[in-house]
Structure 1
């Protein structure tokens, strides 16, 4: 049955529709925009081709994850960072000895003892898990943020563990002229000037060098631009119950064409530096650091987890936790961020204990 309305009511209804339908549509679009990003896909990951890399605080995070899970990882690339366990859960130590080497530099021999103790207790992987791993340590000579003695001690800590591990493939590169940033061929700011987004046009492809050290020589040159897919994913589902890893809502995953098509691939976890998260620099790091181009060649998916800034606990620059702001065990398998990463990597198809 058709119901007829008086003309006045119809006119008012039409006027209301002109006002409220666009508003409702806007609210609906906003609700869609607010929906969380999808979960991580399950990939066909080669367990023998999984590694980590990071810049600055990301380098500290990379070495923490590497030593926590060296029995599941093939190596680490550490750019402008320092040694495992350096801060000892102290922000004062982090800002002094572990950045500027004042009033003293980190002691690799002492920290090697810390690694052995934690490995024996099961807090991190057995030292034997490092056997045959590839470790690449890079620092620019113009870096005024992290002292040369700090970065050198990251190398020396691995060297001190090499005999326990049964041998490592270890390389230190500290002879290039660039400041505290990720050097690229042609992306980012002027190399000599530096600054946000901490990618510099230095004529040096650090991502390519790091990935060659981690995954072997490339079979061909990297393409001028990456050909794969950069996807956002929801980071919340991978947090352990009752543990807040203080991450952003969304992270990023780069899939080379071969990986997106279901082929067998390796995996690289790339940790951004302080003030280099997506909330601060947009997609500069996840698109332009150089890893994606080489990921196409090496057939390696790249996971880009993202930290969020906070004042309680104190982490306004969205650094990775290498001094204890997420709580006890932050640099062991029990830490909130390492546990999150283990869950995320397991979801991707690279199981971590």
Structure 2
């Protein structure tokens, strides 16, 4: 009840603007869970010339839905009646990169891609991890030094595993964080930013701030974003030190309007952000019936428009504007 009261009190006044920080342009990455994983992949392909990598947990491969909700719910989640073909999807990436709708493939050079999927996932088929990684692997010849790692041998359901936060790992469910004895966020950040020099503390020491998301809405499109997003600033970053940036995308029904601050506080990224000296941006989608997105998923099938998974997509343009305001040099 205290948490709900706190959220209600915060919602009584407009959220503050997103603060600018001093950004290390060589340490910017994305991570996501479920629909947030494919969103992170879409952002990575769109802006790989600005990012160092992506950590993708339990999501479908880039471009899988092809603008069709039916395809999204079938092959892209169940791997039925067929497993998405990564070579075909990679060919689409090449076409879009050549047309300037995505970053040049050279932007992937030297990047790290970590694909994590629990073998007990009954929502998004674990077999899809091979397709997610396969898209990148099919492009590796055009992106020297691209490193793709697949991690699919761990026993957990459709959630983000934590060391000790969330629900019983074997049961799963809301808020889709599970006490699995595996610190997935810490592993993701180690893959993206390098092995840490120290162990993370039990609790984050920095500041979790709300910010106004409406300020970055494109004039000609609705990205279906919530009024407020979150930014976590480690103490060093809040004090003005040069810091990296991780954009962490929640999954469906994992937005703050649905689960409160569970994802933005308890996923584990903030503890490790203190160690890696990385600010964490937590953008938030809102649920909607027009367009149809009642579970507040990120757009990976086209509810914001045909260009949803390119640089011209409403949510990708929103993110580019937000990152620019934060201090990331975006084209």
User: What is the TM-score normalised by the length of structure 1?
Assistant: 0.90
1:145-294 matches, cutoff 5 A? 145-294=123-272
Provide the secondary structure at the position in 2 that maps to 1:175.
coil
**Separation of aligned partners in 2, 1:73 and 1:281:** 29
Matched residue, 1:310: 288
| CA shift digits 1:21-49 (9 cap, x unpaired) | xxxxxxxxx99953311111110000000
Matched residue, 2:274: 296
Between 164-173 and 219-228, report the one with greater CA deviation. 164-173
Between 164-173 and 315-324, report the one with greater CA deviation. 164-173
**Separation of aligned partners in 2, 1:92 and 1:191:** 30
2:89 equivalent to 1:114:
no
Computed over aligned residues only, the root mean square deviation of the Cα atoms, in angstroms, reads 1.1
1:8-27 matches, cutoff 5 A? none
**Separation of aligned partners in 2, 1:139 and 1:324:** 24
Q: Is the 8 A contact 2:248 2:280 kept in 1?
A: yes
2:40 equivalent to 1:36:
no
User: What is the TM-score normalised by the length of structure 2?
Assistant: 0.96
Q: Is the 8 A contact 1:342 1:351 kept in 2?
A: no
**Separation of aligned partners in 1, 2:232 and 2:302:** 29
Q: Is the 8 A contact 1:82 1:152 kept in 2?
A: no
Compared CA separation, residues 191 and 70, structure 1 to 2 (3 A): same
Compared CA separation, residues 67 and 285, structure 1 to 2 (3 A): same
Q: Which runs of 4+ in 1 moved over 6 A?
A: none
2:79 equivalent to 1:92:
no
> How many residue pairs get matched?
324
Point out where structure 2 has 5 or more consecutive residues left out of the alignment: 1-7
Shift of 1:306: 0.3
Provide the secondary structure at the position in 1 that maps to 2:39.
helix
Q: Is the 8 A contact 2:53 2:192 kept in 1?
A: yes
Provide the secondary structure at the position in 1 that maps to 2:76.
coil
Provide the secondary structure at the position in 2 that maps to 1:148.
coil
**Separation of aligned partners in 1, 2:175 and 2:23:** 31
Matched residue, 1:3: none
| CA shift digits 1:213-235 (9 cap, x unpaired) | 00000010001000000000000
| CA shift digits 1:267-312 (9 cap, x unpaired) | 0000000000000000000000000000000000000000000111
**Separation of aligned partners in 2, 1:247 and 1:229:** 22
Q: Is the 8 A contact 1:80 1:138 kept in 2?
A: yes
Compared CA separation, residues 173 and 33, structure 1 to 2 (3 A): closer
